[in-house]
Amino acid sequence: MDLNDYWQENKNFVLCVAAGFLVFFIGNSVIQSNIGADVAAARGRINSTQRDLGKINLTKADLREAERENEALQVAVGELVERVGFKTRPDFTLDPSRGSASNQYFAQVSMIREELSREAGRLGVTIPDDLGLPTLAPTREDELARYLEAFDLVERVVRLSFDVGVRKVDKIKISLDPKLRGPKGLESIEKTRVKVNLAGNSGALVQLLAACQDVSQGQVLLVQDCELTPERARPTEAVMEINFIVARPRLELEEDA
């Protein structure tokens, strides 16, 4: 078979192959012209960094200094955790030896609600019936634990409001960290938010805020923000919204990363 016969029988195939080579050549030329310089520059930076790393010569003294700095950082982190992390009282923590998590939750919530309701009635203070807890109690143990922790803060704030003479705890809302069930998981500090709306004498509201920051009360309650708005008709009266944070440091996430 001569070349002319081959061409007549296979010209479609030959044309397709030739077109493929042409497309490849054009595409490669376009890529090289557009990003070839960037790739070459990136490779140059990598090679330069590798050469610089090869020149580093660490001594035992450098290692000891790094270890001392690491120890100092660990101490500093421990102090920050101690200050930021919410210290839940034993009665507001779940203990497997005391029965099921749900039974512990309902028992503690019922007892505190009754105590606060009785005290509020005696003092003539208005408090919300739910005290910020969800109408339908959670069923997951981790959520029960977090609501109980937040309820610990709520109980402290309500009792402090009794002590300073706040006349009304209008609304309380507990919001778990949305990342607790998020696809990416929790960050290094888990944050349960507790929003409290109050009304009464402006002086009493300011005293309440100060009491929340008084370490002699047990611990400083972490406040994200606060807004105090005087009532127009009665200048000595005001409403206040405080957003508290129940912080859970999760340093083990950084260690595992």
Domain segments of the chain as ranges: 1-50, 86-256
CATH of domain 86-256: 3.30.70.60
Give the orientation angle of helix 101-123 with respect to helix 141-164, to 10 degrees: 10
pLDDT of residue 8: 60
pLDDT band at 110 (very low <50, low <70, confident <90, very high): very high
Distances (CA, A) of 116 to 236, 240, 253: 26, 20, 38
Q: Are the beta carbons of 126 and 169 closer than 8 angstroms?
A: yes
For residue range 220-245, list pLDDT tens digits in order. 999 999 999 998 888 789 999 999 99
Least confident of 51-65, 109-123, 206-220: 51-65
- What is the C-alpha to C-alpha distance for residues 101 and 143, in angstroms, rounded to an integer? 10
In the block, tokens 């309820």 appear at 151
DSSP string, 236-250: TEEEEEEEEEEEEE-
pLDDT at residue number 255: 45
Q: Report pLDDT digits (tens) over 18-54.
A: 555 554 455 555 555 555 566 677 777 888 887 777 7
